[in-house]
Chains A and B, each alone.
Chain A
């Protein structure tokens, strides 16, 4: 039960912002939203996570709607190295079990 819905694929021009949406309409109040990405067939890499507030780190920004039913991952200046599959994951209490969906395949175009 992935609990999230993401578009299958997206394109983004190099240097532009990439906005990756995720729906999690059944999310509960204490469930975190995590984003990971997987480049080629490497192990997934952590990007960012949040609960209620918007979050920003050196890689990306995470915007969570007020009702928490959806979120958007923003890569502010996409590069070719950002081409990857991006997974939006709702982490279910009490523990650290992650349930991955099929993610969004982002292609950054030169």
Chain B
């Protein structure tokens, strides 16, 4: 298993440009999520999905869109990049969303480092 993969590893954008950060997992996990991490800070939840076709907002959703057309993929779209979106973005997945699964740990990808000029 490759686990959770993210592309690209690094990206530089100009203000106003759009782009899509890719995330894929090969573990047949239902739950996927996106976080951002600013320097010296913990991770903050942007959006999450409990299964194909279902998405919802996290703590900091403004400026980002997501979709979940397949179980494997969960892309994050920046419609009009702003300098405030300069951050490291992490994608994560877990078997299910629901706490009934005792060992429902999240697996994180390696991150995408985004700079918006």
Contacts and interface: CB of A to CB of B under 8 A. Distances in A.
A103 B43 CA distance: 10
Contacts of A98: 33, 43, 45, 106
A98 B113 CA distance: 21
A96 B94 contact: yes
Contacts of B97: 95-96
A101 B44 CA distance: 9
A42 B88 CA distance: 10
Contacts of A30: 99
Contacts of B107: 46
Tell me the dominant secondary structure on chain A's binding face: loop
Contacts of A93: 99
Contacts, number: 64
Nearest to A51: B102
Most buried by A among B31, B43, B45, B108: B43
Interface string A69-91: 00000000000000000010001
A43 B108 contact: yes
Interface residues of B, number: 31
B7 interface: no
Contacts of A2: 42
Interface in A30-60: 30, 32, 34, 41-46, 49
B84 to A, nearest CB: 19
Interface string B85-117: 000101010101111000011111111010000
A94 B45 contact: no
Contacts of B109: 43
A97 to B, nearest CB: 6
Given A96-B96, A98-B43, A102-B40, 8 more contacts: A2-B42, A41-B111, A42-B111, A44-B108, A46-B106, A46-B107, A95-B50, A96-B106
